[in-house]
Amino acid sequence: MNSTNGNTLTLGVVGAGAMGRGIVQLFAQAGHRVRCFDAASGAAAKAVEFALGMIGRGVEKGRLSAEDFNAIQGRVSACAQMADLADCDVVIEAIVEDIEVKRTVFRALEDVVSETAVLASNTSSLTVADIAAACRHPARVAGLHFFNPVPLMKVAEVIAALRTSPQTVDTLSRLVSGAGHRAVVTADQPGFLVNHAGRGLYTEGLRILEEQAASPADVDDVLRDGVGFRMGPFELLDLTGLDVSSKVMASIYEQFQHEPRFRPSSLVAPRVAAGLFGRKTGEGWYAYDGDRKRAPQRLAPPPPVAGVRAWIDPQAGGREALGALLSDAGAVLVDDTTQADILFVQPWGGDATGVAAALGLDASRVVAVDPMVPLDLRRTLMLTATTSASARDIAWALLAADGVPVTLINDSPGFIAQRVLATVVNIAAQIAQRGIASVADIEDAVQLGLGYPHGPLAWGDRIGGARILQILRTMQAETGDPRYRPSPWLVRRVALGVSLLTPEAARA
């Protein structure tokens, strides 16, 4: 096989759909010879035409010379039969997610290509070892999972099945890197790396909704505006389509032997049955006019009340910032709870009712404020089970006085931001614990593949590993749910006082 270090390879792409044509475009632009085959008559030619059309836009915009474009055109072709892939160094399959169909294709490819050719599947959900089991030479079979649109999503997962050789992994990694994408190596486990790491946002968002703690729009607002996600979980589910996402959630849960961290929500099946898939059906968690989401109705905050007396829990971590905000809004801070109109608490991992009971406070006057979300971005107010309407309105008015948005939620261990971020960090820690991917690959894959503002373990460091552990343990104690049990990776690094990015120093 030719080296990928600056040398041109001959690549085959089997499948002419959106992923296949994107793969053709990526490697054609990278300087390789690319041949596309599809069993459907004329499909490969259309895919090549599309890919070249996309590349040709670079000429129109001055990013690519006409000479270079002509050279690319000369290296890309459509194949009429699979036999035309005989001299390919690497063949990438990008067809329907059906194990028997893929096995048939791989068996046929082995009859065509040389024994040194690498065979890769762009599968997003099937076990690569299951595909490789159909082959005579499973050592040269691996997964190579791209994300749509392939040329723009700058990451690809190189999936090493149990029999995949290190040379095969190295060849595909160098091929991807040479095309300008980040190659992340992952074990052949459910969801591989990106979909595995992304479970926390979806499942915890749905869990919050199950508990009637907040609406989909409230969850999305807090996580988007207050935390930095590009989209909240319900916006994302509407974008990808609940019909598709529901299958992924169920598949990962089943393949991980009903691991509680990945437990799907019972809210999903009825919505799928009702056809509420999201944007493509005009309604999902939101209603749409075409691709445009209709803005959900928002209630205006009540008018401020002068001379409100407010007490803040002396143990609250964000007491100083909250106190300054309340004073600026006209509240009078008092030290005696019996003299206060409103009692503010700021729990980590707990709920407002639990704090009120533990401190012996009048729960009808208690409101909790999330200390994790910066107060200049968005404020989350949590009510106890018995917070009065007057106390709710007083707190709401005070915290909305300067115009910063306020999200009002019901009692929920960990608010919204705390429980979602702690879950995201914990799942990433467990991926590292199981050796599914390296710390560096986890961090880059999540940022590039999911668009998170930080890698999950670095995000855990920013919040504080001890704080993440506190949130998880408190939530597990309050709910009794094993989904919140901390990963040993997290526990050990907190115990040693080291970064969550610290890899294992040695292995037995």
In angstroms, the CA 308 to CA 487 distance is 44
Amino acid identity, position 146: F
User: Hey, what are 332's tokens?
Assistant: 């009078």
Q: Are 16 and 61 in contact (CB under 8 A)?
A: no
CA-to-CA separations, 137 to 107, 115, 124, in angstroms, rounded: 10, 8, 22
| Sequence-distant (≥ 6) Cβ neighbours of residue 305 within 8 angstroms | 394, 397
In angstroms, the CA 437 to CA 431 distance is 7
Q: Are 410 and 114 in contact (CB under 8 A)?
A: no
Q: 61-86 burial, b for 16+ CB within 10 Å, e for fewer?
A: eeebeeeeeeebeebbbbbeebebbe
Residues acting as catalytic residues: 124, 145, 157, 195
Classify residue 454 as left (phi > 0), alpha (psi -120 to 50) or beta. beta
- DSSP assignment of 436-459 equals SS-HHHHHHHIIIII--SS-HHHH
Q: How many CB atoms lie within 10 A of CB 508?
A: 2
Q: What is the 3-state secondary structure (H, E, C) of 149-169?
A: CCCCCCEEEEEECCCCCHHHH
Q: How many CB atoms lie within 10 A of CB 98?
A: 12
Taken in order 36, 40, 46, 51, the sign of the CA dihedral is negative
In angstroms, the CA 422 to CA 174 distance is 34
| Sequence-distant (≥ 6) Cβ neighbours of residue 121 within 8 angstroms | 92, 93, 102, 106, 128, 131, 141, 142, 143, 144
- 111 alpha carbon, distance to own chain's centre: 39
Question: What sections of 190-308 are H helices per DSSP?
Answer: 194-197, 199-210, 216-221, 233-240, 242-255, 268-273
Picking from 416, 413, 384, the residue whose alpha carbon sits closest to that of residue 473 is 413
In angstroms, the CA 360 to CA 340 distance is 14
Strand partners, 156: 183
Taken in order 254, 255, 259, 265, the sign of the CA dihedral is negative
